[in-house]
Structure 1
């Protein structure tokens, strides 16, 4: 297992839709294992393959809900259905979101309260998860990565200048920027 560098916003792999996984082989299993290690080292609750420079439709997740239930898995070639996003302004505390590809930053974003995730696992076994709350948010965030969308792309218009300033000040927004969990201190 290995911790992989996490690509920072601006690299084309993060802003381009990913390709379907077609080869379920030892390389895919190794990628998934490395993605778990990377996510846990970051630390994060989800990580999509494009975030480690691999343009494939898969993500891993690891989260413990309020009932101490562990949600951990890999979603390969996922489909996601969501309820309508509620109207109104997002709450700065309860709806703030971060991303390992925009390390150290958090911004308020309103998401759908519920989602249904359908995917296959490493053994190509189909599964479905009906999620709400933070788990639904995690699935929406990671699924967006597979379509080349970062959460900062979804922020309300009032945040555009702030996000652009943070990206410019950090030296991001161009290809080739990454950080390595456990080595780089970026406070993701």
Structure 2
């Protein structure tokens, strides 16, 4: 089922999400719905807060980027209770966007290597190192689980310049190609 994407201004996007346990009701259905929602909106990642749930889960499918970065071929995963253990490597600036902040793209500086512990959808624990674009996508989605949005990395001047666009999103004055859920303001 395609879920509406929660947009900027909703308090759930600013909450730190708790870990879940194995008995989380409807987990596989949630993961399937998150993938379907992400594909419908043409995204490469989607975190649970973006569909209105304050739980520590996100999904990614960076396969469309495999042409530019072959390591991303078949890079489709669900991350349950992820925790970044290390960030290192070069700091790389790259433009990012977000389904919860439609029509805005900004440059964000991130480390190009991370180590993350997480469970997959079969509750198998992983401790993996990710590099390059995969590390960027994972850091972006991980930020959602800690209540951080990519616009938070903007300079104070850039934030002032974005304010009216962000307010327009909060008020529903944007029409992305996917269903959105406006904040109750």
TM-score, reference length from structure 2:
0.84
Per-residue CA deviations over 1:36-87 (Å, capped at 9, x if unaligned) read 0001111111000000000000100001232162210111000112116639
SS in 2 for 1:86: strand
Higher strand content, 1 or 2: 2
1:180, 1:21 → 2: CA distance? 31
How many equivalent pairs are there? 174
| Residues 157/54 of structure 1: CA separation in 2 closer, same or farther (3 Å cut) | same
Deviations 1:78-113 (A, max 9, x none): 0112116639xx4xxxx1000111012101111111
Partner Cα distance (1:97, 1:134) in 2? 11
1:125-150 alpha-carbon deviations (Å, 9 max, x no partner): 11133211111010100110000111
> What are the superposed Cα offsets for residues 134-183 of structure 1, whole Å, 9 maximum, x if unpaired?
11010100110000111111222331112212112x241x7x99988545
Structure 2 vs 1, CA of residues 151 and 46 (structure 1 numbering), >3 Å: closer, same or farther? same
Aligned counterparts, 1:91-130, within 5 A: 95-130=94-129
Matching of residues 175-186 of structure 1 within 5 Å: 182=178
In structure 1, the partner of 2:183 is none
1:54-133 alignment, distance < 5 Å:
54-64=53-63, 65=66, 66-67=69-70, 69-80=73-84, 81-83=86-88, 86=91, 90=93, 95-133=94-132
DSSP-derived class of the 1:44 partner: coil
Structure 1 segment 104-183 matched on structure 2, within 5 A: 104-168=103-167, 170-172=168-170, 182=178
Q: Where does structure 1 lack aligned partners over 5 or more consecutive residues? A: none
Deviation track 1:11-36 (CA, whole Å, cap 9, x = no partner) reads: 11101111111243551111111000
- Extract unaligned runs of 5+ from structure 2: 181-185
Structure 1 residues 167, 25: CA separation in 2 closer, same or farther (over 3 Å shift)?
closer
Coordinate RMSD, CA, aligned: 2.4
Matches of 2:59 and 2:174, distance apart in 1: 19
- TM-score w.r.t. the length of structure 1 is 0.83
